[in-house]
Structure 1
Amino acid sequence: MNQAMYSIGQIIHHRLFGYRGVVVDVDPVFQGTEEWYEAMAQSRPPRDEPWYHVLVDGQPVETYVAQRNLEPGDPSVPVEHPYVETFFSSFENGMYRARTQVN
């Protein structure tokens, strides 16, 4: 299993589809269904590498992306997404700070 290259709160860029986003969660390996993979993972990325839950900049959607399809994004501009404040408390020095969970 490979090490995750990106962390929660980091801004990324999708290599194939060109969108920016912010990482909200990381799975060490693919956690979706076989049906989802067959329908959505068109480039057939490895399932045994990290996958990321990403809020897409400028669109009210979340994507699930294989590590090999990501690269660092421009950290100078915050991501515009309706759920950013749900996951993060602030944007500082190009990174989002995760909200602390209190149970």
Structure 2
Amino acid sequence: MREAKFGIGQVVRHRIYPFRGVIYDVDPTFDNSEDWWESIPEDVRPDKDQPFYHLLAENSETDYLAYVSEQNLELDQSGTPVSHPQINEIFFEDENGAYKPRDVELH
């Protein structure tokens, strides 16, 4: 089993699609439905045997929850805060602008 490259509270962006978000949970391997898996176009469908990340995600049009494979994420270096409406339920920002988890139950 691989160790996750990213951690809870990190801001990441998708390598292909124009969205970014804050990681709020990590699965060591794929843990979603087969229907969800099959909905991904085959030419961009990632391997299941890698960490998958739950994101409080946003793009230029909306905020949503996303589930993304590690291979499709990279650190967001913009320094721009994430404006997802649920962010304050799960995180607080420290003095350096980093997202730190509140003491909440996620599952």
TM-score range, shorter chain: 0.7 to 0.9
Distance 1:88 1:41, change over 3 A: farther
Aligned equivalents of 1:8, 1:101: Cα separation in 2: 13
**Superposition TM-score, scaled by structure 1 size:** 0.88
Over the aligned positions, Cα root-mean-square deviation in angstroms equals 1.8
TM-score (norm 2): 0.85
Count of aligned pairs between the two proteins: 102
The answer to whether residue 94 in structure 2 is matched with residue 80 in structure 1 is no
Q: Deviations over 1:74-97 (max 9, x none)?
A: 252110101001110224435201
Unaligned runs of 5+ in 1: none
- Structure 1 stretch displaced more, 52-61 or 26-35: 52-61
Q: Matches of 1:62 and 1:87 in 2, distance apart? A: 13
CA distance in 2, matches of 1:15, 1:84: 22
Structure 1 residue 71 displacement after superposition: 0.4
Question: Does 2:100 match 1:97?
Answer: yes
Runs of 4+ in 1 over 6 A off after TM superposition: none
For 1:13-52, list aligned pairs within 5 A: 13-40=13-40, 42=42, 43-52=44-53
Structure 1 pair 87/80, CA: closer, same or farther in 2 (3 Å)? same
